[in-house]
């Protein structure tokens, strides 16, 4: 799957992507020691919903 | 991490025993040697058991308890198996202890019932005082991640597989592991899942046309996945056949009747491969020289004639400044050159005069003629050079073709001789002729499987192209609804973030590959024969090449060099991790570390020369090396090379228990210990 699949007519700016990336890393870092991180998928989903809200 | 001591109690054949590892910087090697079955593999397993509760024994994997002790124990009594490892990590001293109880049920119970293992990790707070850590197992995995285990605790006889066929995945995985890119790896995987969720949301709002595109894409993805599975199945089959071929070759080399013939056959096949490689190189030279200068050979007569004509014109003073393009036009119009040659339209001579006219300025014809005459002379020299190169190459090709024919005949003769060895072995095993036939069938099958792989890869490529086209259509699909757009935007954000992380991951991975390549190459070349080189290719393959003439040809698997290259690769990863750790860089996703290496039987079935080379390499592989070695491998060049550089040395005294009715037991005897105060 590539990024292009999601279309060109909807643009997400670089700053937003950077914020998503930093927040995802932080969320993952908090659970680095766990073999299976808890609830990480809902956390990442919420991060993206918050950062891309319109 | 630096290992300090290992203590065993009732662990397999060790009733009790202790090893103090050398922690000295200059004498960084600890050697433990003993006869086969004395317990080297048990010691390797003791490390993995105490740290990760993992052990891999050939026999009775479930029975860790000492056989003699459980037999002697009274019914109902309990025996504790214990392994304790002390080590240093970042200026702290740790003690890892794992125990498990075995309860003897009755007199006939010679195995004991195993209880639940327990683990503790303690950290030394002051001399003699230890504090138990609450999440010990987690801490151990942080210090020496589980995924690095196979890199640093390994059976040397398996390690040469790194330089075997289709090893890219192992090499790539090892590089990924040493980088410790857990966060990146997890983010990539999790973002993929979240992107799929947003995609599903978007699809709920999408129209029929877009839905159809999604369906097509899903189908294509499934077909690609299926092809990938098919490719993997065939690759496994190919590996299986390669192993069988290798096995038969070894068998044929070990049967008295066929040993000499088989060795001669393998040598002849290598020679054929080497001659073929050189032949291809010569053909390539011929082809490129002909492409580069072939037209010269055809054009030379015309060039010479033109040059002669120009000289004649010059001598007759017809190329002075008064000669103009008009003059040349007149020649062309009347269809005859000054030398009397007809100038028919579209003929070579007509066009030559035409070119001359267009190339020069009206007043520069004389000067250009001089230049052209000089160029013509130069063309003559070029032609002579070309002729020389071609003749030499053809001569070499002829010699090689003769050699190839000779080698092929030799192979055919040897194969015929093997075919004649139809008597079965002593124990009714297959005859050399039968083995050879089986090998030929396996080789043919492998060839066919390889072709299948090629075909499937092509088919997958076609599907991937189709997938790209459908993806591009999806890219252009328009959605008016606001919710769909938002879902699409989120989907895109997830994918884009994932792609960026993946790109960073690949960059770091590639940077580490390059570093490993440089180190492997340097380490390997410092020790191996000068005509050999090792590299990690862009495709993450560890390859060893041999120079034959001016060409490099790939060295076959299973040589001493593959062992050396594989060890050099492990050494390169240890060095990279250490460097990264000591540099204390800003990167929070690849912090490196200092790791010991524990290797069982690194000398395998190598000859003395290669054992010596491996022995010389070992101290450079890491900051602390523990070598477990059989007595047979230890003697001779290994001992003479390693005795001085080892800081501690132990012998495993093994009593198989058969003599006096007792049970097998190994005692650890200290030969040399280097005392270091902490």
Whether residue B85 contacts residue B12, with contact meaning beta carbons closer than 8 Å, is answered with: no
Q: In what order do the strands lie in the sheet with B542-548?
A: B532-536, B542-548, B551-554
Residue B363 has pLDDT above 60, yes or no: no
Give the pLDDT band of residue B406 (cuts 50, 70, 90): very high
Q: What is the mean pLDDT of residues A31-52?
A: 86
Q: What percent of chain B has pLDDT over 90?
A: 30
Which helix (DSSP H) or strand (DSSP E) does residue B630 occupy?
A: strand B625-630
So what's the pLDDT on residue B614? 84
Residues of A in contact with B493 (CB under 8 A): 12, 16-17, 20, 48, 51-52
First to last CA, chain A: 24
Compare B623 and B18 and report the one with higher pLDDT.
B18
Q: Which of A5, A33, A49 is nearest residue B490 as measured by Cβ atoms?
A: A49
| B253: pLDDT strictly greater than 70 | yes
Output the CA torsion B177→B183→B184→B186 (10° steps): 90
| Closest-approach residue (CA) in chain A for B471 | A5
- Angle (CA) A15-A16-A22 rounded to 5° is 90
DSSP code, position B227 = H
Partner residue facing A3 (CB), from B182, B190, B499 = B499
Tokens 């890199």 correspond to: B151
B542-577 pLDDT, tens per residue?
888 888 777 777 776 556 777 788 888 888 888 888
Contact B194 A44 (CB under 8 A): yes
Residues from chain A contacting residue B197 (CB–CB below 8 Å):
41, 45
Query: Which single residue is written with the structure tokens 């989907």?
Result: B491
Residue B142 scores a pLDDT above 80: no
Does B677 score more than 60 pLDDT? no
Structure tokens at B220: 């294509």
More confident: B424 or B11: B11
- The two tokens of residue A16 are 């937003």
Burial of B157 (0-12, 13-18, 19+ CB in 10 A): middle
Question: Which of B611, B658, B609, B657 shows the shortest CA–CA distance to B630?
Answer: B611
* pLDDT above 90 for B353: no
Question: Could you count the other beta carbons within 10 Å of the beta carbon of residue B667?
Answer: 16
Shortest CA gap A23–chain B (Å): 11
Interface probe with B: pick from A7, A8, A42, most Cβ of B within 10 Å: A7
Predicted local distance difference test score (pLDDT) of residue B164: 56
Residue A34 has pLDDT above 80, yes or no: no
What integer pLDDT is reported at residue B456 of this predicted model? 94
**In this structure, are residues B624 and B632 in contact, taking their beta carbons and an 8 Å threshold?**
no
Contact B493 A17 (CB under 8 A): yes
CA–CA separation, B332 vs B232, rounded Å? 70
Rounded to a whole number of angstroms, the distance from the CA of B200 to the nearest CA of chain A is 12
* Cα distance between residue B521 and residue B565, in whole Å: 8
In chain A, residues with a C-beta closer than 8 Å to the C-beta of B472 are: 4
**Distance of alpha carbon B260 from alpha carbon B491, whole angstroms:** 66
Whether residues A28 and B193 touch (CB distance < 8 A) is answered with no
pLDDT at B636 over 70: yes
Report pLDDT digits (tens) over B278-337: 888 888 888 888 887 767 767 777 777 777 777 777 777 666 544 567 777 777 887 877
- Partners of residue A49 in chain B, C-beta under 8 Å: 490
For residue B65, the cross-strand partners are B11
Mean pLDDT of B399-421: 90
> Given CB atoms, is B203 within the 8 Å cutoff of chain A?
no
Q: A15 to chain B, minimum CA–CA distance in Å? A: 11
In this predicted model, what pLDDT tens digit does every residue of B426-474 receive, in sequence order? Answer: 656 788 888 888 999 999 999 999 999 999 999 999 999 999 998 888 7
Interstrand relation of B78-89 and B2-11 (parallel, antiparallel or unpaired): antiparallel
Greater confidence, B118 or B380? B118
pLDDT of B224 above 80: yes
Task: Output the pLDDT for position B660.
Answer: 59
**Which residues from chain B sit within 8 angstroms of residue A50, using beta carbons?**
none
Whole-number Å distance between alpha carbons of A52 and B491: 10
d(CA B257, CA B276): 30
Query: B677 vs B259, which has greater pLDDT?
Result: B259
Residues B494 and A17: their CA atoms lie apart, in Å, by 8
pLDDT at A5: 44
Residue-level length of chain A: 54
Q: Are B117 and B98 in contact (CB under 8 A)?
A: yes
Task: Indicate the range of B10-24, B246-260, B296-310 predicted with least confidence.
Answer: B296-310
Write down the pLDDT at residue B532. 84
The distance from CA B656 to its chain's CA centroid, rounded to whole angstroms, is 40
pLDDT of residue B179: 66
How would DSSP label each residue in A18-53?
Answer: HHHHHHHHHHHHHTTT-SS-TTHHHHHHHHHHHHS-
Q: How many CA atoms lie within 13 A of B332 on its CB side?
A: 19
**For residues B395 and B334, which has the higher predicted lDDT (pLDDT)?**
B395
Return the axis-axis angle of helices B560-583 and B482-527, rounded to nearest 10°.
Answer: 120
Q: In this structure, what are the phi and psi dihedrals at residue B297, rounded to the nearest 5 degrees?
A: -60, -40
Instruction: For chain B, give the percent of residues with pLDDT over 70.
Output: 86
Nearest Cα residue in chain B from A42? B194
Rounded average pLDDT over B101-118? 90
| Tokens (6 digits) for B231 | 């490719």
How much is the pLDDT for A7?
43
* Prediction pTM value: 0.58
Average pLDDT of the residues in B72-101: 94
| Per-residue pLDDT, B205 | 76
- B306-322 pLDDT tens trace: 777 777 777 776 665 44
- Per-residue confidence at A31, pLDDT binned at 50, 70, 90? confident
CA pair distance B160, B599, nearest whole angstrom: 13
Q: Residue B97: how many CA atoms within 13 Å on its side-chain side? A: 13
**What is the pLDDT confidence band of residue A1, given thresholds at 50, 70 and 90?**
very low
How many Cα neighbours within 13 Å face the side chain of B508? 23
Q: What is the pLDDT of residue B560?
A: 74
B632 touches chain A (CB under 8 A): no
Q: B190–A44: do the CB atoms touch at under 8 Å?
A: yes
Output phi, psi for B329, to 5 deg.
-60, -40
- pLDDT value at B158 more than 80: no
Measured CA to CA, the distance from residue B569 to residue B575 in angstroms comes to 10
Which residue among B190, B471, B497 sits closest to A21, beta carbon to beta carbon?
B497
Q: Tell me the two tokens of residue B562.
A: 């593959």
B445 inside 8 A of chain A by CB: no
- Torsion from C-alpha of B615, B23, B34, B612, nearest 10 degrees: 10
| Dist CA B366 CA B313 (whole Å) | 9
B313: tokens are 């014109």
Chain A residues at the B interface, defined by Cβ less than 8 Å, are 1-10, 12, 16-17, 20-21, 24-25, 28-29, 32-33, 37, 40-41, 44-45, 48-49, 51-54
Q: What is the ipTM of this complex?
A: 0.87
Size of interface A-B (CB pairs under 8 A): 103
Query: Could you tell me which residues are beta bridge partners of residue B532?
Result: B546
pLDDT tier at B234 (50, 70, 90 boundaries)? Answer: very high
- DSSP secondary structure letters along B43-55: HHHHHHHHHHS--
CA distance B137 to chain A (A): 11
Confidence label for B196 from pLDDT (cuts 50, 70 and 90): very high
pLDDT score, position B425: 63
DSSP structural state of residue B27: S
- Chain A residues lying within 8 Å of B484, measured CB to CB: none
Residue B247 pLDDT > 60:
yes
- Reported as a pLDDT band with limits 50, 70 and 90, residue B201 is confident
Q: A10 or B206, which is more confident?
A: B206
Cα B264 from Cα B465, distance rounded (Å): 48
Q: How far apart are CA B526 and CA B530, in angstroms?
A: 8
Choice between B493 and B543, residue whose per-residue pLDDT is larger: B493
For position B80, what pLDDT does the model report? 95
Per-residue pLDDT tens over the stretch B652-669: 998 877 655 578 889 999
| Beta pairing partners, B4 | none
**Do A41 and B190 count as a contact with CB atoms less than 8 A apart?**
yes
Residue position matching structure tokens 């997890």: B186
DSSP state of B661: S
Task: Name the residue among B547, B519, B515 with its Cα closest to residue B533.
Answer: B547
Q: What is the pLDDT of residue B405?
A: 93
């Amino acid at each position: 799957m590539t990024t292009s699949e999601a279309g060109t007519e909807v643009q997400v700016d670089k700053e937003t992507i950077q914020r998503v990336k930093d927040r995802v890393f932080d969320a993952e870092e908090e659970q680095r020691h766990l073999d299976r991180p808890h609830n990480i998928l809902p956390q990442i989903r919420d991060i993206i919903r918050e950062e891309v809200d319109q | 991490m630096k290992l300090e001591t290992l203590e065993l109690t009732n662990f397999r054949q060790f009733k009790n025993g202790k090893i103090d590892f050398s922690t000295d910087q200059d004498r960084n090697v600890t050697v433990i040697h003993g006869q086969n079955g004395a317990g080297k593999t048990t010691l390797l397993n003791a490390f993995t058991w105490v740290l990760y509760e993992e052990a891999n024994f050939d026999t009775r994997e479930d029975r860790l308890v000492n056989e003699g002790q459980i037999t002697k124990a009274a019914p109902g009594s309990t025996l504790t198996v214990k392994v304790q490892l002390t080590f240093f990590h970042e200026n702290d001293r740790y003690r890892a202890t794992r125990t498990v109880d075995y309860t003897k049920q009755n007199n006939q119970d010679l195995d004991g019932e195993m209880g639940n293992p327990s683990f503790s990790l303690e950290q030394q707070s002051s001399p003699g005082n230890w504090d138990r850590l609450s999440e010990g197992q987690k801490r151990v995995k942080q210090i020496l991640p589980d995924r690095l285990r196979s890199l640093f605790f390994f059976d040397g006889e398996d390690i040469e597989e790194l330089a075997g066929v289709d090893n890219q995945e192992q090499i790539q995985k090892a590089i990924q592991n040493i980088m410790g890119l857990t966060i990146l790896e997890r983010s990539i995987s999790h973002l993929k899942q979240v992107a799929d969720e947003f995609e599903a949301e978007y699809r709920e709002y999408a129209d029929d046309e877009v839905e159809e595109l999604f369906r097509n894409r899903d189908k294509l993805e499934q077909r690609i996945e299926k092809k990938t599975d098919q490719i993997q199945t065939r690759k496994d089959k190919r590996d299986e056949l390669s192993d069988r071929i290798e096995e038969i070759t070894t068998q044929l080399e070990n049967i008295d009747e066929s040993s000499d013939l088989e060795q001669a056959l393998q040598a002849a096949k290598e020679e054929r491969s080497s001659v073929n490689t050189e032949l291809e190189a010569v053909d390539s030279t011929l082809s490129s020289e002909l492409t580069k200068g072939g037209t010269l050979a055809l054009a030379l007569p015309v060039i010479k004639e033109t040059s002669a004509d120009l000289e004649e014109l010059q001598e007759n003073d017809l190329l002075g400044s008064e000669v103009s393009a008009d003059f040349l036009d007149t020649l062309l119009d009347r269809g005859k050159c000054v030398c009397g040659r007809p100038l028919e339209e579209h003929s070579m001579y007509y066009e030559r005069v035409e070119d001359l006219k267009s190339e020069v300025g009206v007043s520069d014809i004389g000067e250009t003629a001089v230049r052209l005459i000089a160029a013509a002379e130069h063309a003559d020299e070029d032609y002579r050079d070309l002729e020389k190169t071609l003749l030499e190459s053809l001569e070499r090709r002829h010699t090689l073709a003769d050699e190839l024919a000779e080698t092929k005949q030799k192979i055919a003769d040897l194969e015929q001789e093997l075919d004649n060895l139809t008597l079965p072995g002593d124990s009714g095993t297959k005859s050399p002729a039968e083995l050879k036939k089986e090998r030929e069938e396996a080789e043919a099958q492998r060839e066919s499987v390889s072709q299948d792989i090629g075909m499937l890869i092509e088919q997958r490529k076609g599907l991937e192209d189709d997938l790209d086209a459908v993806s591009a259509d999806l890219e252009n699909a328009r959605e008016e609804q606001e919710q769909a757009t938002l879902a699409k935007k989120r989907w895109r954000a997830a994918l884009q973030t994932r792609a960026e992380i993946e790109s960073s991951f690949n960059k770091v991975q590639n940077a580490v590959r390059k570093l490993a390549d440089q180190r492997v190459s340097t380490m390997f070349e410092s020790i191996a024969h000068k005509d050999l080189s090792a590299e990690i290719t862009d495709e993450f393959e560890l390859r060893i090449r041999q120079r034959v003439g001016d060409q490099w040809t790939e060295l076959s698997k299973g040589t001493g060099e593959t062992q050396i290259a594989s060890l050099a690769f492990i050494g390169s990863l240890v060095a990279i991790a250490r460097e990264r750790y000591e540099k204390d860089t800003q990167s929070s996703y690849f912090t490196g570390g200092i790791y010991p290496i524990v290797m069982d039987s690194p000398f395998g079935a190598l000859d003395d020369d290669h054992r010596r080379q491996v022995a010389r390499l070992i101290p450079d592989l890491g900051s602390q090396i523990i070598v477990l070695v059989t007595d047979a491998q230890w003697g001779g060049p290994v001992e003479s090379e390693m005795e001085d550089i080892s800081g501690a040395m132990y012998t495993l005294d093994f009593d198989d228990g058969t003599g006096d009715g007792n049970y097998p037991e190994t005692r650890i005897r200290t030969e040399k210990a280097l005392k270091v105060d902490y």
